[in-house]
Amino acid sequence: MTVNPGPPEYRPHTPPTAEPHGLGPAAGAGAPPAEPDAADRPDVETDGRATEAPDPGETGEPAEAGEPAEAGDRDAKDSALDAFRAPDPAGALTTDQGVRIDDTDNSLTVGDRGPTLLEDFQLREKLTRFDHERIPERVVHARGAGAYGFFEPYASLAEFTCADFLQEPGRRTPVFVRFSTVQGPRGSADTVRDVRGFATKFYTRHGNYDLVGNNIPVFFIQDAVKFPDFVHAVKPEPPNEIPTGASAHDTFWDFCSLQPESTHMLMWVMSDRGIPRSYRMMQGFGVHTFRLVNADGRGTFVKFHWRPLLGVCSQVWDEAQITAGRDPDFHRRDLWEAIEAGDFPEYELGVQLIPEQDEFAYPFDLLDPTKLVPEELVPVRPVGRMVLDRNPQNFFAETEQVAFHTANIVPGIDFTNDPLLQGRNFSYLDTQLIRLGGPNFPQLPVNRPLAEVRNNHRDGYGQQVVHPGITYAPNSVGGGCPAALGGGRLPEGVFEHYQERIDGAAIRRRSPSFADHYSQAALFWRSMADWEQRHIVEAFSFELGKVEEPEVRRRMVGNLRQVDLGLAAEVARRIGVPEPEAVPDAGAESDAGAESGAGADAGSRPGAGPQVSPALSLDNLRASGIRTRKVAVLTAPGVDGDQVRAARERLGAQGATVEVLAAQDGRVLAADGAHVPVDRALPTTASVLYDALVVPDGCAPTLPADPDAVRFLTESLRHGKPVALLGSGVALSRTAGFGDPGGLAGVTVHSGEEPPGPALWEEFADLIEHHRFPSR
């Protein structure tokens, strides 16, 4: 049988170099099997001998429940990876067989210029290994970045779930999180308009739990049978493999125009949610309705939410396109650098809890993945926090090989009959089998659970364990085998499916309760601020403006008419199709032939839910403070050095990263004779890589004559970023064509002879906290 002894907290105190997994390279093949419930008894060795409690430093747990550990403490997963980390290479170079070699720069040939010999086994091995380094990329979510961290609950949720990682306040569970884009391949840019994945693997004491979510709470389709069609439509078109990492093409919009259930999701993606500022400033959602189950077997419906403590911020469209060219790794780099700098991203886990008796109490179906539960109907309850505090050591081994699966659940969490979720529970496992080379991908270090693994699974590609003994159950000749723990009341940590009686005929038919495709799309539209609505119109106009087929454009405008007449009319004008007429019957079918039971006015029907949901607008999701915001300071010879130093000190004290830019690297000579160090040269950077800009006094006429500096300010102002213009810095604004900038929102101007005092920097910090000024 497969034996995984588990993490240090389940074993006697051992040095950190001890092998943490029976599945590892040095596993003892003859280890006796543990008692069935040994995994739930941390103070008992698998042979029954008592042992001392594990040292908190070994397990990553705080010394006492609820007592926070230091952010840099190593957790159990970090320690478990030690057995698989290769040491720094030292000594003689060898082949994979351990044979030392004398030369890796030259092939074996006949003479100096003769043919290469087939007997050069070193060459063959090196090329063969290189030829097979790549594995198939993910079909979707191929482009991603990941990090390790921990999750700890605020209070026990035992009333609703027996999930172990939600029981004890302050007890830390190791996690690995992977963020990603959906459409593009691995080589695409980070800042394209797209859905973002937000997948979290919890290494709990009772097994791995994967919360596989997105940054948008709904999805394009209701039934998994449509998933291949959706992905085929959104991917580059077959004849020319165009476009890469984008959805502005005929096949995607043709699909959506004929599949009106996608309308709600389209509203989210066409909003600024589709172009987040960073992974650190992005919400996450479980999308589906899941079920929590407590120790008594009582179920509660649940929706999962991740909220970033830095607030929810986005780029604007022009900014995102420029960023894709200036730094296609913008989000990946931002996450890595923040963690390396100790600015650990933090998210709060919240849940919407719905009693099972309220399953049909809402004007939408809880099992419909194209619907959300408005927070005005069911508030989000904060239950814990997650901190990402460690970068991977090898992108391929960890971020690329990590395998998430919606069906990786633990006792206390179960599924619902959501048809999209049911299909994902098959598809995710199936795709990992081919992507990672067979059924043994759970043995890869990043995927290994900390809980013990005991079963009769055998053989297959990539098997890492030498299994002794019998491979079947029951048996009487092999010295025992792992036992199932069914019958009666189950021990803690044993999974049992939630019991629910379901009767019905086998049919291929969508539930009538799934037929409303527009009311929540209309709710989203009504909840947007004016500038958000303007950006949505611009996004639809750009995307549909790329569509070649007039009929596809017309059908999409017909669908948008069901959301809002003004939205549809403005998009129609911009893309050159007839403006839609008012629909007298709100329940009428759309031009796409949808059997919608809810039209543009559905939200006004009695019992249809809130008219507006403030929680949906980015205007209401900002956080306080400017921690980790990046501020550029444009300088040139003669700059006011005191102002540069004040920017660094005043804004840096509040957690911002302040970088000095100049035409060249090195340093610039300030007006007071001091030298100001330069962090980056203007030709190597761009305004889109910063959140705010300071132009200090003393830089005229040099900066107004520098095209890079003029472009930097022009883009900052065009993208609505906070700008501080001090003294002669106003001259740069005039050169950029903005005249007197004093009346522009988000711009602070200081033109007096007295040096700017603390009040100016406080005012500017408030502007940075606001993030963007779209009215500009």
Give the C-alpha distances (Å, rounded to integers) separating 22 from 6, 176, 402. 8, 21, 20
Catalytic residue among 214, 215, 440, 559: 214
- Counting beta carbons within 10 angstroms of the beta carbon of residue 606, is it exposed (0 to 12), middle (13 to 18) or buried (19 or more)? exposed
The torsion angles phi and psi of 355, rounded to 5 degrees, stand at -60, 145
Taking residue 653's Cβ as centre, other Cβ atoms within 10 Å add up to: 10
Determine the Cα–Cα distance for residues 617 and 116; give it in Å rounded to an integer.
66
Non-local (6+) Cβ contacts of 1 within 8 A are 33, 454, 455, 456, 467, 469, 470, 471, 481, 482
CA angle 370, 141, 527 (to 5 degrees): 35
SS3 state of residue 453 = strand
Strand pairing class (173-181; 144-153):
antiparallel
Give the C-alpha distances (Å, rounded to integers) separating 432 from 106, 210, 429, 633. 38, 14, 5, 47
Count of CA atoms in the C-beta half-sphere (13 A) of 257: 21
SS3 state of residue 515 = coil
Non-local (6+) Cβ contacts of 671 within 8 A are 638, 639, 640, 641, 698
Determine the Cα–Cα distance for residues 25 and 303; give it in Å rounded to an integer.
40
Nearest Cα neighbor of 559 from 526, 525, 517 is: 517
SS3 state of residue 769 = helix
Asked if 497 is an active-site residue, the reply is no
Which uninterrupted H or E stretch holds 427?
helix 419-435
Non-local (6+) Cβ contacts of 118 within 8 A are 124
Total H helices, total E strands in the chain: 17, 20
SS3 state of residue 89 = coil
CA angle 486, 491, 493 (to 5 degrees): 100
Q: Label each residue of 566-631 as H, E or C.
A: HHHHHHHHHHCCCCCCCCCCCCCCCCCCCCCCCCCCHHHCCCCCCCCCHHHCHHHCECCCCCCCEE
Determine the Cα–Cα distance for residues 240 and 235; give it in Å rounded to an integer.
11
SS3 state of residue 208 = strand
SS3 state of residue 226 = helix
Tell me if 356 sits within 8 A of 299, measured CB to CB: yes
Which uninterrupted H or E stretch holds 68?
none
Nearest Cα neighbor of 222 from 408, 415, 366 is: 366
Determine the Cα–Cα distance for residues 170 and 166; give it in Å rounded to an integer.
10
Asked if 141 is an active-site residue, the reply is yes
Q: Between helices 263-270 and 519-527, what is the axis angle to 10°? A: 20
Give the C-alpha distances (Å, rounded to integers) separating 705 from 525, 532, 713, 724. 44, 36, 13, 19
Catalytic residue among 21, 141, 264, 288: 141
Determine the Cα–Cα distance for residues 364 and 381; give it in Å rounded to an integer.
21
The token pair that represents 377 in the structure block: 């109907």
Tell me if 675 sits within 8 A of 649, measured CB to CB: no
Q: Please identify every residue annotated as catalytic.
A: 141, 214
